[in-house]
């Protein structure tokens, strides 16, 4: 996985350097925008039970706090075996640009533990989360740094974080977002990222005159983001012809019934074996003839090795950094439209912001209000990025980075650095 780690950092550096050049930023400005405020690495000991025997294991945990010029650090917490400092650095950077692009008063951070959560039982996962939280407690906080779920974590993990933090700080609902609704979570937060992906995919498809009834959609990743993106696209009338998870994919030219797919995953734990579908590998899935491709799993799934085979006209980056910078160049040259990650999946952090606001005010909103505000703000952000892209004759990624970097750079200047 060393390659993937390097690709993430390299990709983030490339997009930033390109934007810094266009904005004619000087050396020290570049340095301030590139460097992290703080990078924390901790060792987390947990007793694991295997074959009735208890053994002490250690796991590496990370939190990169990139920039807080515009507000407290904000970013997800990931449990995945490939987590490393380089990957977390790149993802923390991306959070700074996302929160600036959608113009919410947060900075950017990201954290994670190098662990396969599927190998732990609930008690072990809880122990791991609580011990990680104990070590991170001095640097997180309601107005300092607010974690949220990401790959391999969920509302239950956030509930354990909240409980552990509250033991020493008093009940602090707003210290994490993406919590269960019963603990101050935001109605609609669970589906917000995928819902936003579908909303923006539809906006971009409409601009390209891709009609829902005639457009075929392929989605890689059927977790939180992928499954809710699939629900959203199906609700809008698009035909989902292929879906996948870590075990492989399923394909149906006639279209997949998303409620059947969800029920099948609930029953069996995977998509494979879904009725009325043919198996397809994750690699084959990306190359299927389709109109809209939504990578919603891991980073660097579209690289120079497979760009030539990508047939979609529109790629909507539901995952963070699913397209490497070289693949991005090649796809742009071929005229493929890309809705970049910092725009496409920003619905997650936007709903997290709504959750934080509700927690501070102790005044919960209804799901309909959350989703209508989300759609309105996403549409406004999409229009701003698309209009700037058209005005400057650049792609949406360049326009989005430019808008976001300008806002962060200005905040740094105004604060007197």
Q: Which residues are annotated as catalytic? A: 110
Locus of tokens 């509250």: 166
By CB under 6 A, which span of 121-129, 255-263, 318-326, 389-397 interacts with ligand NAD? 318-326
Task: For the segment 208-247, give every residue that binds ligand NAD (CB under 6 A).
Answer: 220-226, 244-246
Please report whether residue 279 would count as binding ligand NAD according to CB under 6 A.
Answer: no
Asked if 370 contacts 355 with a C-beta cutoff of 8 angstroms, the reply is no
Min dist. Cβ of residue 20 to ligand NAD (A): 24
Which residue's CB atom is positioned nearest to ligand NAD?
Answer: 223
From 134, 156, 282, 311, residue interacting with ligand NAD (rule: CB under 6 A): 282
Phi, psi of 112 (to 5 degrees): 180, 165
Please report whether residue 381 would count as binding ligand NAD according to CB under 6 A.
Answer: no
Q: Which is nearer to ligand NAD, 71 or 322 (CB)?
A: 322
Distance CA 410, CA 110 (A): 23
Distance CA 315, CA 258 (A): 20
> Is 207 in a helix, a strand, or coil?
helix
Distance CA 248, CA 221 (A): 9
Distance CA 8, CA 362 (A): 38
Query: Is the torsion defined by CA of 154, 87, 39, 48 positive or negative?
Result: positive
Task: For the segment 343-372, give every residue that binds ligand NAD (CB under 6 A).
Answer: 345, 348
From 113, 136, 186, 297, residue interacting with ligand NAD (rule: CB under 6 A): 297
Please report whether residue 149 would count as binding ligand NAD according to CB under 6 A.
Answer: yes
Min dist. Cβ of residue 86 to ligand NAD (A): 15
Q: Record the tokens describing residue 169, joined without a space.
A: 């700080």
To the nearest 10 degrees (0 to 180), the angle between helices 2-22 and 27-34 is 140
Please report whether residue 320 would count as binding ligand NAD according to CB under 6 A.
Answer: yes
Please report whether residue 319 would count as binding ligand NAD according to CB under 6 A.
Answer: yes
Min dist. Cβ of residue 171 to ligand NAD (A): 24
From 298, 310, 312, 403, residue interacting with ligand NAD (rule: CB under 6 A): 298
Distance CA 205, CA 227 (A): 19
Q: Which is nearer to ligand NAD, 67 or 244 (CB)?
A: 244
From 87, 127, 145, 150, residue interacting with ligand NAD (rule: CB under 6 A): 150
Distance CA 286, CA 303 (A): 11
Q: Which is nearer to ligand NAD, 244 or 359 (CB)?
A: 244
Please report whether residue 324 would count as binding ligand NAD according to CB under 6 A.
Answer: no
Asked if 254 contacts 242 with a C-beta cutoff of 8 angstroms, the reply is no
To the nearest 10 degrees (0 to 180), the angle between helices 224-235 and 258-268 is 150
Q: What is the DSSP letter of 323?
A: B
Min dist. Cβ of residue 52 to ligand NAD (A): 30
Chain residues that interact with ligand NAD, rule: CB under 6 A: 149-152, 193, 220-226, 244-246, 282, 296-298, 318-320, 345, 348
């Amino acid at each position: 996985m060393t390659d993937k780690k390097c690709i993430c950092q390299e990709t983030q550096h490339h997009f930033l350097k390109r934007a810094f050049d266009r904005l004619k930023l000087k050396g020290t400005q570049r340095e301030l925008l590139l460097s992290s405020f703080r990078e924390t690495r901790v060792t987390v000991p947990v007793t694991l039970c295997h074959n009735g025997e208890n053994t002490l294991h250690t796991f590496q945990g990370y939190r990169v706090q990139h920039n807080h010029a515009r507000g407290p650090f904000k970013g997800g917490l990931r449990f995945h075996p490939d987590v490393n400092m380089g990957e977390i650095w790149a993802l923390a950077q991306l959070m700074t640009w996302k929160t600036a692009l959608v113009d919410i008063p947060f900075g950017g951070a990201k954290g994670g533990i190098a662990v396969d959560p599927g190998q732990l039982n609930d008690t072990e996962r809880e122990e791991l989360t609580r011990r990680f939280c104990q070590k991170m407690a001095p640097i997180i906080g309601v107005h300092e740094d607010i974690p949220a779920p990401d790959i391999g974590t969920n509302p239950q993990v956030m509930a354990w974080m909240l409980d552990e933090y509250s033991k020493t700080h008093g009940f602090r609902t707003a210290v994490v977002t993406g919590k269960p609704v019963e603990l101050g979570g935001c109605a609609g937060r669970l589906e917000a990222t995928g819902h936003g992906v579908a909303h923006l995919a539809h906006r971009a498809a409409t601009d390209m005159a891709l009609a829902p009834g005639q457009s075929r959609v392929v989605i890689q990743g059927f977790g939180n983001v992928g499954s809710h993106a699939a629900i959203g696209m199906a609700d809008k009338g698009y035909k989902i012809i292929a879906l996948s998870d870590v075990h492989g994919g399923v394909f149906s030219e006639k279209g997949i019934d998303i409620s059947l797919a969800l029920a099948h995953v609930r029953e069996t734990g995977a998509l494979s074996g879904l009725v009325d579908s043919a198996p397809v590998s994750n690699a084959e899935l990306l190359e299927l003839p389709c109109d809209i491709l939504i990578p919603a799993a891991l980073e660097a799934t579209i690289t120079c090795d497979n760009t030539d085979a990508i047939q979609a006209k529109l790629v909507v980056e539901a995952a963070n950094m699913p397209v490497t910078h070289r693949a991005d160049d090649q796809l742009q040259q071929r005229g493929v439209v890309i809705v970049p990650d910092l725009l496409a999946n920003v619905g997650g952090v936007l709903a997290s912001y709504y959750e934080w606001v509700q927690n501070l005010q102790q005044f919960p909103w209804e799901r309909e209000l959350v989703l209508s505000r989300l759609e309105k703000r996403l549409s406004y952000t999409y229009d701003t990025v698309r209009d700037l892209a058209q005005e400057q004759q650049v792609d949406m990624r360049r326009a989005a980075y430019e808008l976001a970097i300008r806002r962060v750079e200005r905040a740094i200047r105004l604060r007197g650095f």
